[in-house]
Amino acid sequence: MTIMVNPNVNPTFTQVGPYVSGASISALPTTSSNGINGTWSPAINNTTTTTYTFTPAVGQFSTTTNMSISINEPLQYTLSTSNSTVCPGTSVTLSVNIQPPYPVGSIHCNGTPTAVVDVTNPTTGKTWMDRNLGATRVATSRTDDQAYGNLYQWGRGSDGHQCRNSTTTTTLSSADQPGHGNFIVTLNSPNDWRSPQNNNLWQGVNGVNNPCPIGYRVPTETEFNSERLSWSVQNSTGAFSSSLKLPLGGSRNNDGSLNYIGSGGNYWSNTISGSNSRYLSVYLDNYANMFFVERVFGLAIRCVKD
């Protein structure tokens, strides 16, 4: 007796997407292009990039296959023209400035993504965003509250916790994304919002929770230190007089309270230091230097171009 064993067929499908977040996505075909019937799971999600699995029906002699559908944030753009008033029949040239998108699912505290405008330090050659994440404008003074921006716990994405009035919780997260927008507080060592700790959340543009727009990232300690050393004076006057115009937006303590608003500016780097992380601190006319602090604290972010 000869028993024939045929190899399983791999179902093939035409790639779908990418889509803009919130767009209508049609149901995936239940029959592959090579005639295999089956079902897809999980249900279609039009708000985040998801990998779907096709399971062949019983008796189809076929393997499962996967398809990832990418979901992107809508592009932000502004229109401008050099002529505010024109005569009838005169042509006008509009300039379109397309903003890099933020990571899918980013929550913007004032409802509008932070504008992405570049500024370059001629001494270091580094290009940065000209304002803090969450700021509505470039600082006009050291104590310009519209330039303070948001306060992030080290390693977290823009899930809403960074808003200065976000509620607090004492429940630590065991995942890289807590699944809520509460500011996680703790007074216990190692004073981190995540347990166990994860040192690899903000490294590079592909960092797990990189909160910066596409093509930007949280700076390293070395990059921040180079900026600091290029200032005319090592204090908040030098910080504001620099290309970055860093304001004194304060920080958020491990109990959720705000501190040093108008007197200190504290900015995260992506560099770790044991169970802590490194940050740039500027304080009135006293100093500007790099220090380390527990990751549960909320500090500002100034994104650097990769």
298, 162 contact by CB (below 8 A): yes
Q: Where are the alpha helices (DSSP H) in the chain?
A: 221-229, 236-241
127, amino acid identity: T
User: In this predicted structure, what is the pLDDT of residue 74?
Assistant: 67
156, 133 contact by CB (below 8 A): no
Q: What's the CA gap between 247 and 99, in Å, rounded?
A: 23
Q: What is the band of 148 on the pLDDT scale with cuts at 50, 70, 90?
A: very high
User: In this predicted structure, what is the pLDDT of residue 93?
Assistant: 80
Residue 224 lies in a domain: yes
Q: What is the band of 76 on the pLDDT scale with cuts at 50, 70, 90?
A: low
Task: Tell which of 56, 72, 88 closes a domain.
Answer: 72
- Domain identity same for 284 and 177: yes
54, 38 contact by CB (below 8 A): yes
Residue 26 lies in a domain: yes
pLDDT tens for 278-305 read: 999 999 999 999 999 999 999 999 999 9
- Domain identity same for 149 and 226: yes
pLDDT tens for 186-222 read: 999 999 999 999 999 999 888 889 999 989 999 999 9
pTM of this prediction? 0.72
User: In this predicted structure, what is the pLDDT of residue 20?
Assistant: 79
Task: Tell which of 54, 72, 90 closes a domain.
Answer: 72
Residue 304 lies in a domain: yes
Residue 99: strand, helix, or coil: strand
Q: What's the CA gap between 236 and 202, in Å, rounded?
A: 26
- Domain identity same for 205 and 57: no
Q: Which helix (H) or strand (E) holds 277?
A: strand 276-283
- Domain identity same for 260 and 144: yes
- Domain identity same for 238 and 292: yes
R_g of the chain computed on alpha carbons:
24
- Domain identity same for 61 and 171: no
Residue 81 lies in a domain: no
Query: Rounded mean pLDDT of the chain?
Result: 92
- Domain identity same for 205 and 108: yes
44, amino acid identity: I
Residue 213 lies in a domain: yes
pLDDT tens for 78-112 read: 677 767 677 888 887 877 766 678 888 899 998 88
Structure tokens at 58: 């019983």
pLDDT tens for 4-61 read: 887 888 899 999 888 877 888 999 999 999 999 999 999 999 887 788 999 999 988 8
Percent of residues, the chain, with pLDDT higher than 70: 96
Structure tokens at 78: 């502004």
Structure tokens at 211: 């909160």
Identify the domain containing residue 230 by its residue range.
102-306
- Domain identity same for 61 and 147: no
- Domain identity same for 201 and 122: yes
Peptide bond into 42 cis (omega under 30): yes
| CB proximity list for 89: less than 8 A, separation 6 or greater | none
Residue 271 lies in a domain: yes
Largest CA-CA distance found in the chain, in angstroms, rounded: 93
Taking residues 111-124, report their average pLDDT. Answer: 93
Residue 77 lies in a domain: no
- Domain identity same for 183 and 264: yes
User: In this predicted structure, what is the pLDDT of residue 61?
Assistant: 84
Structure tokens at 242: 């620099």
Question: Phi then psi for 240, rounded to 5 degrees?
Answer: -75, -30
- Domain identity same for 194 and 284: yes
- Domain identity same for 40 and 163: no
How many independent structural domains does the chain possess? 2
Q: Which residues pair with 129 in a beta bridge?
A: 118
Q: What's the CA gap between 211 and 132, in Å, rounded?
A: 12
Residue 88 lies in a domain: no
54, 32 contact by CB (below 8 A): yes
User: In this predicted structure, what is the pLDDT of residue 305?
Assistant: 95
